[in-house]
Amino acid sequence: MRMVTFKKLMLTIAIAMSSMFVIAQESTNEAPSQKNNFYISGDLGLGILNGDFNKLKLDMNGHLGVGYKFDNYIGLKANVGYGSFNGGYENHNLEQLNYLEANLNLTLDLTNIILGYNPDRKFSAIPHIGIGQLQYRINLTNTDGSTYFKEGYSKDSNVNKGGINGRKNIATIPMGLELNYKVNPQWNVYLDFTTNYTDSDLIDGLKPGDHHNDWFYSINLGANYVLNNKIHDIFKSTDEFCNYWYLTFDGGATLLFADNNFYLSTMRSNFSIGAGFDFRNYYRIYAKLGKGSYNGNGRVPEFNFEMGDANFLNASLNLSADVIGLIFGEKEDRKVTLYPHVGIGQTQFRATNYFMTEDNTEVVHVGYNNNDDNNNRGDGINGRKTAFTFPVGVELTYDYNETTEFYADVTNNYTNTDLMDCLTDGYNYDVYSTINVGLRYKFNRLCGLNSKDENVTAEDIKQAVKEAVAQQQAEEAAAEEEAKSSYITPEELKQAVKDAIEEYEASKPKQESVLSPATVINNNYSDISFPKNGAQKVKTQTNIDALNRASNQVTDGSAVNRIIVEGYASPEGNNAYNERLAQKRAEEAVEIIKKELGEIETERIEITNKGADWEGLMNAIAASDIENSEEIIDEIKNSSNREETLKDLMEQYPQIKQLLPQLRRASVVITTIK
């Protein structure tokens, strides 16, 4: 693999990370409608093998696939396919060369990432990358009809390679772009361009050739059909999502699994730095750069060996998911979770090995920047040997606070080389494992709302807004007319606070008053909303009329006399955690007010921690159109474990989840005097 391959890998990582940054920026504007669904696909097209042919020729191939779209941006797709290769040889005849293939791919809707989600959009560009397997058979003859190279046939036991009917197995990395046209909500047609890297130079039957490894390309026309959208939510999606960037640093031990012996004493050190993007609460895409060393010794039939200096550089792009959250749903007070991860990457290594026989010791070098006879120089940095890697592992994460996580990670890096131990004719491809502990710093947290309406159009959204406004106005009018209601509405609560303040001002002795007859008292009321599990104001927060009014009054000469702030949390989750979260939200609300109005004396600010807002939840349920609302409220009131009761009720009545965001707030009363 040449140096240009390493540069391409770095460019791929940069493009992928910049695409995730666009997703983050999109979430600051308008929360898109989340759409999850299964689909099936099929395609036919032409393929070409880029091997050591004298003349390239096209041949047919086709695929069947099934995919799952997690939301408007990311998905997974599995394909199985069959095809043939063709080519011209100078001194040979190709009798047969066909293959079976299977792969699993990550897909990203690049159009939605760059332009934002639009349910009415017809065209989209969807790049994809994955891992897979190719099982092929080839029969190459000489011009006189005798066999030159034959592989992958079950009848020839000496060349049976373990695949279906004895086919030869090799690994592939498919990378490509799908251009998609939406015919209607169920049907899409697409044109797909895919390049497949393989870890073999024998698909064409010629080795060694000018190409280090054989590649093959395909261009296919196909269609996919979206299955019934009612089966879309196989995972525990939430009404809110939060995205954030993060940086990582970790270090630990490295162990090489090659033709050497494996002992704890052969462990060496490594470290890595990384940057990633956490999106939709559960998914992460991240890039890592690292450096490390490794060691080992052992015995093969001909000699003993002992490794000297051996080290590596690596770079990888990885995808991971919070499996605990996906299986059991998001929980605000969960501290520990698991992130399995898989990726692609490159390692650049150099090593020295001492091969010892009874007569002498031979020193062999790999990956050094010289052309000595005992050195196998590579194409990487300073002559290092290069290899593709497939990092697969799992990370155990502890969430320390809103900005910091600690983690322990175990990763196996599967390579396509047998040279890391300097044994060119060893028995296995080499694998090296890293066992690391690290720190993650999270920043630029941005939150939004998910909508799971199916086949939503722009007109649907406008109509839904009109209906929601009309319904809210009707509910407010009904609440005002309900004189004997047993529940306190938010408007009544604000009025009670207003009356209490005015009563307090009126009860002051006249001799203590410094107000003139012309004094004007203004009470400004507002709710500042916060995201789930967060104490940062929602970016789309528009309920700041009270702050604006108070700011204008101060500008016009009024003075801030008193500020009352009450912090709340939605009641799902641990009570102690909700207490802390409500306090943080109240304190953050005070900081927001200070930024708007300037510094305010501490004695004029009153902060109250209300904790979980059970009363607000029951009021919201009573004012909603949820069936059996009275029974739901009674069940909550009479429960000895409200948290578990609420969890069960939300499973039975999913509409309750839609009432929770309004409870994650800080209620503010700002009194100004002029």
**Sequence-separated (6 or more) residues with CB below 8 Å from residue 205:** 92, 94, 97, 138, 140, 148, 149, 151
pLDDT value, residue 207 = 67
With respect to residue 473, please indicate whether it lies within any of the assigned structural domains.
no
| Selection from 255, 215, 195, 211 nearest residue 432 by Cα | 255
| Tokens found for residue 283 | 């998914």
pLDDT at residue 573 in the model: 75
Is the domain of 226 the same as that of 344?
A: no
Are residues 582 and 660 located together in one domain of the fold?
yes
| pLDDT tens column, 358-401 | 677 788 889 898 888 888 888 889 989 988 888 999 999 999 98
| Higher per-residue pLDDT: 397 or 626 | 397
* pLDDT exceeds cutoff 80 at 660: yes
pLDDT category at 157 given cuts 50, 70, 90 is very low
H or E segment and range at residue 75: strand 74-84
Any domain includes 163: yes
Q: How far apart are CA 579 and CA 365, in angstroms?
A: 62
Same domain, residue pair 55 and 180: yes
Q: What was the pLDDT predicted at 505? A: 65
Residue 126 pLDDT exceeds 90 = yes
Number of domains, the chain: 3
Domain boundary (232, 263, 281) is at 232
Are 547 and 526 a contacting pair, CB within 8 Å? yes
**pLDDT mean over 283-309:** 82
Q: CA dihedral in degrees (550, 555, 558, 562; nearest 10)?
A: 40
| The pLDDT value given to residue 202 | 82
Q: What is the largest CA-CA distance in the chain?
A: 121
* The predicted structure's pLDDT at residue 29: 39
Nearest Cα to 661, choosing from 450, 464, 399?
450
Shared domain for 326 and 248, answered yes or no, is yes
Which residues lie across from 42 on neighbouring strands? 64, 223
**pLDDT value at 52 more than 70:** yes
Count of CB atoms situated within 10 Å of the CB of 11 = 10
H/E stretch holding 615 reads helix 614-623
Cα separation, 600 vs 462, in Å, equals 41
Q: Is the dihedral of CA 483, 486, 489, 494 positive or negative?
A: positive
Residue 475 belongs to some domain of the structure:
no
Residue of 5, 22, 79 whose CA lies nearest to 45: 79
Same domain, 56 and 106: yes
Which residue's structure tokens are 């008193």?
562
Q: Any idea which of 6-10, 261-265, 291-295, 437-441 has the lowest mean pLDDT?
A: 6-10
Residue 454 is predicted with a pLDDT of: 45
- Beta partners for residue 625, in sequence order: none
From 459, 443, 593, select the one nearest 526 (Cα to Cα). Answer: 593
Q: Among 298-307, 336-345, 354-363, 396-405, whose mean pLDDT is lowest?
A: 298-307
Range name among 1-5, 214-218, 438-442 with the lowest pLDDT average: 1-5
The pLDDT score that the predictor gives to residue 201 is 78
What tokens does 482 get?
Answer: 């309900």
Domain presence at residue 302: yes
* Structure-block tokens of residue 288: 């890592």
Residue 460, pLDDT score? 57
Same domain, yes or no: 136 and 218: yes
Same domain? 539 vs 396: no
pLDDT band at 511 (very low <50, low <70, confident <90, very high): very low
Q: Is residue 508 part of a domain?
A: yes
**Looking at the predicted structure, is the pLDDT value of residue 230 above 50?**
no
With bands split at pLDDT 50, 70 and 90, how would you rate the model's confidence at 339? Answer: very high
Select from 208, 232, 256 the last residue of a domain. 232
| Non-local CB neighbours of 398 within 8 Å, separated by 6+ positions | 335, 336, 405, 406, 407
Asked whether residue 24 is domain-assigned, the answer is no
The answer to whether residues 654 and 550 touch, using CB atoms and an 8 Å cutoff, is no
Sheet-wide strand order for 559-569: 521-529, 665-673, 559-569, 605-612
Counting residues of the chain whose pLDDT is more than 90, the rounded percentage is 24
Where helices occur in 402-542 by DSSP H, the ranges are 458-481, 490-507
- How wide is the angle at C-alpha 31 spanned by C-alphas 25 and 32, nearest 5°? 100
β-strand pairing of 283-293 with 303-321: antiparallel
pLDDT of residue 55: 78
Kindly tell me if the per-residue pLDDT of 458 is higher than 60: no
pLDDT given for residue 294 in this prediction: 92
* Residue given tokens 């049907």 in the structure block: 187
- Any residues with CB less than 8 A from the CB of 463 and at least 6 apart, and which? none
Task: State the pLDDT confidence band at 552, using cuts at 50, 70 and 90.
Answer: confident
Range of the domain at 110: 37-232
**Same domain for 223 and 127:** yes
* Mean pLDDT for all residues in the chain: 79
Q: At 313, which CATH number?
A: 2.40.160.20
Is 503 found in the same domain as 447? Answer: no
283-293 and 268-279 beta bridge pairing: antiparallel
Whole-number Å distance between alpha carbons of 59 and 76: 27
Residue 461 belongs to some domain of the structure: no
Q: Is residue 619 domain-resident?
A: yes
Assess whether 170 and 275 both reside in one domain. no
Output b/e per residue, 83-108; b: 16+ Cβ within 10 A.
Answer: bebbbebeebebeebbbbbebebbbb
Q: Which two tokens stand for residue 583?
A: 């306090």
pTM comes to 0.54
Do 448 and 502 share a domain, yes or no? Answer: no
Q: CB within 8 A of 522, min separation 6: which ones?
A: 549, 550, 553, 558, 671, 672, 673, 674
Picking from 205, 232, 259, the residue at the C-terminal end of a domain is: 232
What whole-number distance in Å separates Cα of residue 550 and Cα of residue 669? Answer: 10
What are the beta bridge partners of residue 362?
Answer: 355
Does 274 share its domain with 181? no
